[in-house]
Amino acid sequence: MNEPVLYQTIHLAHGRVRNLEAHAALLDAAGRTLFRRPYRPDLQALATRIERCAAAERYPTGVSGFIRLELTAAGEERLLPEGISLYDGYALRSLHPDAATLHYEPLCPDLPTTAREAAERLAARIVRDREATVAVRCDAEGRLLSAENAPLFALCNGTVYLSPAPPSVEAELLRGTIRKLGMPLRDEALRRSDLSRIEELFYVDHRGITALGHCDGMPFMALYAERIAEALEQHFQEI
């Protein structure tokens, strides 16, 4: 059996890397935990390698692109193309997929590994029988925890609820954006039984924000998710 590999997917806008220091710090912490090996790259040199990889793939600079950064147990660093976006920067994705809840436990430790990624793909396959394309992971208590490896945000009665989840670079960016907008934010997972009163349910990853259209048949809006996505991208325009 192949040994798990740690990974992060890097967002490039206008051909330039975003959030590299935060991604490297997450890989460093995960590498110390899983491989007993630190990851302390020269960030400027790494950014250059990533941008050259995107250029070699002929990524257009008018839209965002993605490069997967992998770290093996032996300390090998790999860069793999992950395609391009329809958008320039972070955005509310036009696809609002249907989801279904599924109880399954994360791998231990719950780190950004290819093993966890495989578990998420399996979960998505299981919920296809329920005419869903996204599995919302729940625990034994019915708490809504994640979707496609990303922590969930739920809007309910004017308050945004962030499910507890492993560290995510984009989730931390979104947390700051929500607070900057003056919206109440609580680090608390809602439950399956709360779906009927949730107004919006969305998650964020390297692509931007994905708002769910339905979960277990309950419909959701995407009004605030769009506003939050615009504010998230505006942050980078102001830097």
Q: What is the DSSP string of the chain?
A: -PPP-EEEEEEEETTEE-SHHHHHHHHHHHHHHHTS------HHHHHHHHHHHHHHTT--TTS-EEEEEEE-TT--EEEEEEEE-SSSSS-B-S---EEEEEE-PPPSS--SBHHHHHHHHHHHHHGGGGT-SEEEEE-TT-BEEEETTEEEEEEETTEEEE---S--HHHHHHHHHHHHTT--EEE---BGGGGGG-SEEEEEETTEEEE-SEETTEE---HHHHHHHHHHHHHHHH-
User: 141 is written with which tokens?
Assistant: 């208590």
User: Mind listing the pLDDT tens digit for each residue in 158-188?
Assistant: 999 999 888 899 999 999 999 999 999 999 9
CATH architecture classification, 98-238: Alpha-Beta Barrel (3.20)
Per the CB < 8 A criterion, the answer to whether 115 and 127 are in contact is no
pTM (2 d.p.) = 0.94
Sequence-separated (6 or more) residues with CB below 8 Å from residue 116: 4, 106, 107, 110, 149
Give the residue range(s) of CATH 3.20.10.10 domains in the chain: 98-238
CATH architecture classification, 6-84: 2-Layer Sandwich (3.30)
Q: How far apart are CA 93 and CA 96, in angstroms?
A: 7
So what's the pLDDT on residue 236? 84
Give the residue range(s) of CATH 3.30.470.10 domains in the chain: 6-84
Residue with tokens 């399954």: 104
Per the CB < 8 A criterion, the answer to whether 47 and 20 are in contact is yes
Low-confidence ranges of the chain (pLDDT < 50): none
So what's the pLDDT on residue 239? 63
* Beta-strand pair 218-219/134-138: unpaired
190 closest CA partner among 218, 227, 222: 218
